[in-house]
Structure 1
């Protein structure tokens, strides 16, 4: 550890940590964490990997850290985890220079399975702090200087961390262990499935609240803010609320808050996607359309076809089915029926990540598996109509179970 992080200062604030433990909403049980750790360690043993290194800086698509620690990475602040096959974790996170927390027995009510939590005030916007997290992570990896180190989620790991540890341990063997962890992480336990169902219940309420509030004169973002307020009161921590409006019969696409300034008018179509995490951190997503007035017969007919397109996909979400084959057959179905083929992502897994494997797409090697959480959202413009529907399903041994969301499968007419 270099001088810049200061002399280590041990902090054993059991009272404070106990207080924090009471403040955490919907913590994952220790038994569930132990199940995850055991499953990953068994996979590491089979692959001859001695230790994992991961780093996330947000909890929209940074679920690896959350999966191992039950603590999210947020706000662009990096959280780095060293997960040995034969020892407790080392965690590096935001905090005072030189601070070290060593939970007695590896558990202080918030940090669980953790030998040491090392802290440093680093910021991605200040280039000279780039080595700080890397140096502390290297201290956790020191016992594995000649071992096999698996990098998890390298897409989100900073180049500073990856470059530093490779230079610090030239005799180590580095491998990508993302796929290894994904194969465990995508399979949901009973506890995780209940969190997923609760997220869907929350989104049903958020959509109802938004459609109850919508009226001419509001801006798109103001309607989305109603859904956000409902969700935050329910216990959501992060997520996105995509929305957009246009005169009915005009092709358009929804967007983030930055594009939510349009004022709604009588007769407009409005679309809203609530894609956020419920209490406990699991993601689902719900998407619907409404009309400030009456929906045209053309809109209703197109929505009926959208439901048919979703059913076409659901019939193929059976364990063992290759993701690429579903993608190809879905696009052939769309083209055959005069609709545009999908070129982005219309069906995928969800969990601690807003988008999780498998992706139903040509480039996904994962087949469909039981115990995964899959969202289906065919979305397209055709004949001047923007049409879509979005709901989640848990995949069972024979295919999708019941739709998790209970919001009606309709175009809601307002007024």
Structure 2
């Protein structure tokens, strides 16, 4: 798979190196093997060939940037959609996909997709042809990413005043004063039904171009970003494996009497030391859904017999892909754990086998819905969670997500979960890519029950 050969500027500290260095000491102490915290099953998992391969992941082994060719591929794909929609220009603002959950902390998913840069660009102006303009404050000035953007053909503009003034200037230079203008995150954006474009900025742009026609256009980027290139799939595969290192750290640190915060830090630091980037998501909870921790360290003490579930996603070049691996910490094991864990693992394998281009999401969710109904629960629960920048579909067989037709290049986490009487969940999941002939897992660990003592 294609990977960027670009090298980081050796004369400056990258965000990746700073994060890695800051966490190295803590991670070294938290991830030191402890004979008392693992049962024989977990010890075997740690020493497995897959675990040894994962241990070889370091920031130096990962791509340092998206290639110029990849970024320009994205522009061509978005521009093709603009042509089909008869748009002359696309105004792209920051898109926060998780207001209530602390994920995508950089908060610029759509802009990051078009620039490949995680530093804070506020707006991108993308005309149907001609130069692409990215607008930011002086936070990006002089950074490695500024030159990288310029090398990709992006006109970087540093704002010292209203955003609208720079947007208006870029639009005038693109000669779209009487054109049809699409605006992302204006309305009906992913996880932002009412959009995030500020009234004042939008009002000033509208008044500057009274003869132009403006319309919401968030769907343009979502449709393109859902289909990943070989370069993106290669990065998502690495991201998945970084997430698996987070799971390994959880297996190491979790035991009765340990505070959740300690486990959270172990997972966070293991992933930072692997990729040099902040994890996309670290949310872990005992006797509750993993996402109920809202990506936060908690002062909850793990008790013997509790089930630890999580949403764990590493980050490489800003892309996340989730993994899930519930585990019982100590004993006694909940009476319904074995059956629920088997249901989750069996459902995962059945869903993986069912994935193929041309099928609807609701078709591959049939195995999950069947087991939910057999347990007296409502079908249609969330079981698909797309990878990437956090703005792509998530859901199950119900609603619009169930109607999505799978295409080769889509990447998502398959994560069937079944409730326990204790309030916990049995959930085993991994990110998969849709191929021309079916699907392939991006993770390397064995999907099995791991026992912690």
Q: Normalising by structure 1, report the TM-score.
A: 0.79
Which secondary structure state, in structure 2, belongs to the residue aligned with residue 388 of structure 1? strand
Q: Work out the CA distance in 1 between the residues paired with 2:326 and 2:318.
A: 26
Q: Work out the CA distance in 2 between the residues paired with 1:199 and 1:189.
A: 15
Deviation at 1:323, TM superposition (A): 3.1
- Does 1:71 find its partner at 2:117? yes
- Which structure shows the bigger proportion of residues in strand conformation? 1
User: In the alignment, which of 176, 181, 185 is matched to residue 221 of structure 2?
Assistant: 181
Deviation at 1:383, TM superposition (A): 3.8
The within-5 A match list for 1:12-161 is 19=11, 26-56=64-94, 59=104, 62-72=108-118, 79-95=122-138, 108-111=147-150, 112-120=152-160, 132-142=162-172, 143-154=175-186, 155=189, 156-160=195-199, 161=201
- Rate the CA distance shift 1:163–1:331 in 2: closer, same or farther, 3 A: farther
Q: Work out the CA distance in 1 between the residues paired with 2:93 and 2:10.
A: 26
Which residue does the alignment assign to 2:43?
Answer: none
Which residue does the alignment assign to 1:164?
Answer: 204
Which secondary structure state, in structure 1, belongs to the residue aligned with residue 405 of structure 2? coil
- Rate the CA distance shift 1:251–1:89 in 2: closer, same or farther, 3 A: closer
Which residue does the alignment assign to 1:311?
Answer: 349
* Consecutive unaligned residues in structure 1, runs of 5 or more: 1-15, 102-106, 122-131
User: In the alignment, which of 334, 337, 360 is matched to residue 322 of structure 1?
Assistant: 360
Q: Work out the CA distance in 2 between the residues paired with 1:271 and 1:243.
A: 6
- Does 1:280 find its partner at 2:317? yes
Offset from partner CA, 1:358-381 (integer Å, 9 cap, x none): 754412353111111011112231
CA contact (8 A) 1:52 1:84 kept: yes
Greater relative contact order (CA < 8 Å, ≥ 6 in sequence) = 2
CA contact (8 A) 1:324 1:363 kept: no
* Consecutive unaligned residues in structure 2, runs of 5 or more: 1-7, 17-62, 97-103, 190-194
Q: Work out the CA distance in 2 between the residues paired with 1:404 and 1:150.
A: 35
Q: Work out the CA distance in 1 between the residues paired with 2:379 and 2:298.
A: 25
- Rate the CA distance shift 1:282–1:326 in 2: closer, same or farther, 3 A: same
CA contact (8 A) 1:187 1:371 kept: yes
Deviation at 1:201, TM superposition (A): 1.2
Q: Work out the CA distance in 2 between the residues paired with 1:411 and 1:296.
A: 14
Q: Work out the CA distance in 2 between the residues paired with 1:22 and 1:245.
A: 35
CA contact (8 A) 2:386 2:413 kept: yes
- Rate the CA distance shift 1:399–1:62 in 2: closer, same or farther, 3 A: farther
User: In the alignment, which of 357, 362, 368 is matched to residue 393 of structure 2?
Assistant: 357
Which residue does the alignment assign to 1:191?
Answer: 231
- Rate the CA distance shift 1:165–1:343 in 2: closer, same or farther, 3 A: farther
Which residue does the alignment assign to 1:334?
Answer: 371
User: In the alignment, which of 240, 265, 285 is matched to residue 244 of structure 1?
Assistant: 285
CA contact (8 A) 1:39 1:184 kept: yes
262-271 or 387-396: which moved more? 262-271
The within-5 A match list for 1:262-411 is 262-277=300-315, 279-294=316-331, 295-296=333-334, 298-324=336-362, 326=364, 329=366, 332-341=369-378, 345-351=382-388, 353-357=389-393, 359-360=395-396, 361-364=398-401, 366-384=404-422, 386-401=425-440, 403-411=441-449
CA contact (8 A) 2:310 2:325 kept: yes
The alignment's C-alpha RMSD in Å is 3.2
Offset from partner CA, 1:301-348 (integer Å, 9 cap, x none): 211111233334334432222335555x46741343124235653203
214-223 or 256-265: which moved more? 256-265
Aligned residues: 374
Q: Work out the CA distance in 2 between the residues paired with 1:244 and 1:379.
A: 14
- Rate the CA distance shift 1:148–1:358 in 2: closer, same or farther, 3 A: farther
- Rate the CA distance shift 1:276–1:202 in 2: closer, same or farther, 3 A: closer
- Rate the CA distance shift 1:46–1:386 in 2: closer, same or farther, 3 A: closer
Which secondary structure state, in structure 2, belongs to the residue aligned with residue 95 of structure 1? coil
- Rate the CA distance shift 1:252–1:213 in 2: closer, same or farther, 3 A: closer
Deviation at 1:71, TM superposition (A): 0.8
